Structure 1
Amino acid sequence: MNVRFLEAFVWVAKLGSFKGAADKLFTTQAGISSRIATLEEQFGVRLFERDRRNVTLTYQGSELLPYAERMIELQARMQSAVGKTESFSGVLRIGVIETVVHTWLPDLLSRFAALYPNVTLELFSDITPRLRDDLLRGTLDCALLSEEITPGFIENRRIATYAMRWATSPALAAQLPPGPLSFTDIARFPIISFHRESSVYRNIAQKATECANLRVSYFSSLAAMVDLTRSGFGIAPLPVAVIQDHVAQGRLVLLDLVPQPLPLPLVASVRMEPALPLAEALVMLAREASENFTARSAMQVLAT
Structure 2
Amino acid sequence: MSINRISLYHLETLLWIDRLGTFSAAAERLNTTQPAVSARMRELEQRLGSKLFRRDGRSMSLTAAGRKLVRDCDPLLRDMQLALLGSGGFAEASGVVRIGAGEIAAASCLPPFVAKLKAEMPNVGLEIEIDLTANLIQQLLTGRTDLAFAAGPIAHPALKTSPIGAVALVWLASPVVAATFGGGGGGGGGGGDAVPVPVWSLASHSPIHGRMRDAIQASRIAPKSLNLCNNARMMIDIAKADGGVGIFPEPMVRDDVERGLLVELADMPTLAPVEFHVAMRVADTEPVLMRIFEEAARLRLTTRSDFDADQ
TM-score under structure 2 length normalisation: 0.84
The one of 112, 127, 133 aligned to 2:132: 127
Kindly indicate whether residue 188 of structure 2 is the aligned counterpart of residue 181 of structure 1. Answer: yes
Q: 1:141 maps to which residue?
A: 146
Q: 1:191 maps to which residue?
A: 199
- Indicate how the Cα distance of structure 1 residues 294 and 263 shifts in structure 2: closer, same or farther if over 3 A, else same: closer
Shift of the alpha carbon at 1:294? 4.1
- Indicate how the Cα distance of structure 1 residues 22 and 223 shifts in structure 2: closer, same or farther if over 3 A, else same: same
SS, match of residue 160 in structure 1:
strand
1:98-144 deviation per Cα after TM superposition (whole angstroms, max 9, x unaligned): 12333442222221111111111011011111111111111000101
Shift of the alpha carbon at 1:85? 1.2
Whole-Å Cα distance in 1 between the matches of residues 81 and 226 of structure 2? 48
Whole-Å Cα distance in 1 between the matches of residues 272 and 213 of structure 2? 13
Deviates more, 1:244-253 or 1:53-62: 53-62
Query: How many residues are matched?
Result: 300
Q: 2:3 maps to which residue?
A: none
Shift of the alpha carbon at 1:202? 1.3
SS, match of residue 101 in structure 1:
helix
Whole-Å Cα distance in 2 between the matches of residues 274 and 183 of structure 1? 53
Shift of the alpha carbon at 1:298? 4.8
The one of 41, 64, 72 aligned to 2:46: 41
Q: 1:85 maps to which residue?
A: 90
Q: 2:279 maps to which residue?
A: 269
Shift of the alpha carbon at 1:207? 4.2
Q: 1:238 maps to which residue?
A: 248
Kindly indicate whether residue 119 of structure 2 is the aligned counterpart of residue 114 of structure 1. Answer: yes
What RMSD over aligned residues (CA atoms) do the two structures have, in Å? 3.0
Asked whether the 8 Å contact 2:173–2:242 carries over to 1, the reply is yes
Whole-Å Cα distance in 2 between the matches of residues 294 and 206 of structure 1? 24
Q: How is 1:189-228 mapped onto 2 (pairs within 5 angstroms)?
A: 189-207=197-215, 213-228=223-238
Asked whether the 8 Å contact 1:73–1:274 carries over to 2, the reply is no
SS, match of residue 274 in structure 1:
coil
Query: What fraction of aligned residue pairs are identical, expressed as a percent?
Result: 27
Q: 1:105 maps to which residue?
A: 110
Q: 1:54 maps to which residue?
A: 59
Shift of the alpha carbon at 1:170? 0.8
Asked whether the 8 Å contact 1:163–1:264 carries over to 2, the reply is yes
Whole-Å Cα distance in 1 between the matches of residues 87 and 216 of structure 2? 56
Whole-Å Cα distance in 2 between the matches of residues 200 and 281 of structure 1? 31
Shift of the alpha carbon at 1:37? 2.6
TM-score under structure 1 length normalisation: 0.85
Whole-Å Cα distance in 1 between the matches of residues 269 and 78 of structure 2? 47
Asked whether the 8 Å contact 2:102–2:150 carries over to 1, the reply is yes
SS, match of residue 152 in structure 2:
coil
- Indicate how the Cα distance of structure 1 residues 158 and 19 shifts in structure 2: closer, same or farther if over 3 A, else same: same
Query: Which residue type is aligned with residue 114 of structure 2?
Result: L
Q: Gaps (5+ residues) in structure 2?
A: 1-5
Shift of the alpha carbon at 1:263? 0.5
Shift of the alpha carbon at 1:6? 2.3
Shift of the alpha carbon at 1:215? 2.7
**Larger CA Rg, structure 1 vs 2:** 2
Query: Which residue type is aligned with residue 246 of structure 1?
Result: D
Whole-Å Cα distance in 1 between the matches of residues 8 and 26 of structure 2? 15
1:34-60 deviation per Cα after TM superposition (whole angstroms, max 9, x unaligned): 432333234321111346632222232
Asked whether the 8 Å contact 1:189–1:235 carries over to 2, the reply is yes
Deviates more, 1:263-272 or 1:42-51: 42-51
